[in-house]
Amino acid sequence: MAVARILIVDDDPDTQRVLGYTLTQEGFQVLVAVDGSEALRVRERERPDLILLDVMLPKLDGYQVAERIRADEGSTSHVPIIMVTAETDIEQKVRGLRAGADDYLVKPFHPAELLARIRSLLARFAPRYAETVGQPSASGRVFAFYGAKGGVGTTTLAINAAVALQRDQGRRVVLVDGNLQFGDHRVFLDLGLDRKSIVDVVVAPTIDQDLLKSVLIHHDSGIDLLLAPPSPETAELVSAEQHHMAAIIDLLRQRYDYVIIDIDKRLDEANLDVIAASDVVFVVMTADLSCLKNVRLVLETMSQLGMGSGRVQLVLNRSTAYTGITIKNAESALRRKIAYQVVNDYRVAITALNTGAPFVVARSDSALGKSVVDFVRQVARLDVARADAADLAPATT
């Protein structure tokens, strides 16, 4: 099996030595550059599979290096970059993501967290290396459902899409309530406050597969659930600084075919971790002026964070509701194609909410149920096409 090559860009000899030892022990081939200019030369000559890039560097800083690499790549290739810094300010993280980084680590960090992030990025951008380090292949797809504004039906769509993926496609699916302060999955699925939640994961000494298995809830619909904290104040236990969400997602994608994450519209550090780890972010919208305004801002922000158009897809919910704005008008205003549509059926949706039964199960014959299943089938077909293309791509050694 080919060995993934990782370029460490850092001017501190001690850091080079520690990272080099850690990565070599895990089966990676290590390359080293001591400043920004050398990093660009080594990257051009050796073509590493992943780059660990320190921010504070001689000659060219990490932001400049990342920007030059992305400019040189264009749209034909993509080497994953993990930016490393001692700065904890979220503005610095956003700056790194805008420069082209795929992930961000704050010093000091645990080697296990570094390895988890490396595996996740290699699984996304270089699947042939997914088992290089002797771990299960992190092949599961991660989909984030992000509402352009409140009330557009993001949670309803995330829940029913997750159930449809399991029932219609026969896939292993886990649904994560990523709205940490005010998650609604307990209400939507008629579950009590006594159920375990993500808090039981993050307060444990270590986060591993056995712990996750004990906290996940198997729902009657066939999917597994990771619930949000039972109260807003306990949401603070899910630490952005320790990147709890990123670590949990990495473990879940090793167990499931699909990891569906329902997140709120705040772009805080926890949600940025989810977005960075996602293969696709489905931006859920409706055809009204205030929502279109928000969608434009969301698309601009996602672009600044380095999210290409293929990773950000628009989903028009309640597409048959009369708002005075046609789909063509909406696409023209956004200068972006709406990839998916889900029809409007308030009665079916509200009945499902009040009974705690997903409508793709309780009313699978309804227009709304069929529409969500059709949405899932379109997504699954694209995933099959993506996998086939990856299988046909020539492997390098």
pLDDT per residue as tens digits for the range 17-68 = 889 888 887 888 899 999 999 999 999 998 999 999 999 999 899 999 999 9
pLDDT at residue 396, as a whole number:
44
Q: What is the pTM of this model?
A: 0.68
Instruction: Give the per-residue SS3 of the chain.
Output: CCCCEEEEECCCHHHHHHHHHHHHHCCCEEEEECCHHHHHHHHHHHCCCEEEEECCCCCCCHHHHHHHHHHHHCCCCCCCEEEEECCCCHHHHHHHHHHCCCEEEECCCCHHHHHHHHHHHHHHHCHHHCCCCCCCCCCCEEEEEEECCCCCCHHHHHHHHHHHHHHHHCCCEEEEECCCCCCCHHHHCCCCCCCCCHHHHHCCCCCCHHHHHHHCEECCCCCEEECCCCCHHHHHHCCCCCCHHHHHHHHHHHHCCEEEEEECCCCCHHHHHHHHHCCEEEEEECCCHHHHHHHHHHHHHHHHCCCCHHHEEEEEECCCCCCCCCHHHHHHHHCCCCCEEECCCHHHHHHHHHHCCCHHHHCCCCHHHHHHHHHHHHHHHHHHHHHHHHHHCCCCC
User: Using 50, 70 and 90 to split pLDDT, how confident is the model at 320?
Assistant: very high
Across the chain, mean pLDDT equals: 87
pLDDT at residue 290, as a whole number:
94
Does the pLDDT value for residue 379 go beyond 50?
yes
Superfamily of domain 5-129: Response regulator (3.40.50.2300)
The domain segmentation of the chain, as residue ranges, is 5-129, 141-392
User: Using 50, 70 and 90 to split pLDDT, how confident is the model at 223?
Assistant: very high
pLDDT at residue 384, as a whole number:
65
Q: How far is residue 16's CA from residue 9's CA, in Å, rounded to a whole number?
A: 8
Average pLDDT over residues 73-85: 85
Q: How far is residue 323's CA from residue 342's CA, in Å, rounded to a whole number?
A: 15
CATH for the 141-392 domain, from 3.40.50.300, 3.40.50.1100, 3.40.120.10, 3.10.20.30: 3.40.50.300
Does the pLDDT value for residue 288 go beyond 90?
yes
Does the pLDDT value for residue 140 go beyond 50?
yes
CB 259, CB 162: distance < 8 Å: no
- The pair of three-digit structure tokens given for residue 6, joined into one six-digit string: 């990782």
